[in-house]
Structure 1
Amino acid sequence: MTDTPETGATEAQQPLQISQRVLAQYVRDMSFENIMAQKGVSGEVQPEIQVGVNLDAKKRGTDDEQYEVITKLNITSKTKDKGDPLFILELEYAGVFKIEGVPAPQLHAYLLIECPRITFPFVRRIVSDVTRDGGFPPLNLETIDFVALYRNEIARRAQAQAEANGKADA
């Protein structure tokens, strides 16, 4: 078989093979405050739950292919009628990933979308167990749309940058 220009072009157009391995997962930080048990709440309690999600990713050490991706949750539960706090759960869950074959311009999005998708079931389990062990019904988090979360953060940063440029021009 001889190499022809067509063969070389076909091989060059093949997408890169992406390889991803989870090297480690761990709880970086966690706090659970059962305010209801400390202060007491009277009457029937209808909880209102708010979940805040934040993501962070950084290169790990000197290995160009290892990244630490942290999912940060801030969950508050209050009574619907009076707004009395029931509990506060703060969780930082990290995953260490070895990622190969992702083009540099797409790496940021990959780290903040694909990596949290992999660790999310573990985060969900921890939240469920901690709330149950804290004396509440287990909180089963809804699936988080990491693509929408990423797009919202990019839009927020672009707006903040535009506002900063507007103030600099004034």
Structure 2
Amino acid sequence: MTPEEPPPLPVAHDDREDGRDETPNERADRNWDELLQELRVMQTGTQILTGFLLAVAFQPRFEDMDVFQRDVYVVLVALAALATILALAPVGMHRALFGRRRKPELVKVATRIVKIDLVVIAALTIGVTTLIIDFTVGRTAGVIALIASVVAVGLLWLLLPRMIRRALSRRDT
């Protein structure tokens, strides 16, 4: 070792071949922190949509909604409640399991819940957009908004990450 080279870092247990030197507990802590950040973003969006939906029922024009729009509205309120419950579930689980050395299991289950919540939030976002356009512009525009929203979610939430993963795996080989 020459004087200008730094001394080698101590080697921690590398539990995966991803270039990170961390113990399983360190990995679980990092993954939990990342999940919490995702949940914060998801919860903010869900709160905004839920607040909008709750305010709609108390507007004078709520009476102008047709049966289809009211049915969609009720489904959207249920989806908003479900999205909130799902987003809070990992926090409740963490509280129940706190101090029991079960963070790896918690991260695994919470990851599944977050994925389910993303599907619910996608449906909620698509539905709210559809309802607003349907009510303000008309049914045809609402259907167009529905299709456009489904395509946007499909492209940005599903196809784009898949394309990035594929490009990175080709680059790494």
Q: What TM-score do you get using the length of structure 1 for normalisation?
A: 0.31
Structure with bigger RCO (C-alpha 8 Å, 6+ apart): 1
Q: Given the two structures, how large is their TM-score scaled by the length of structure 2?
A: 0.31
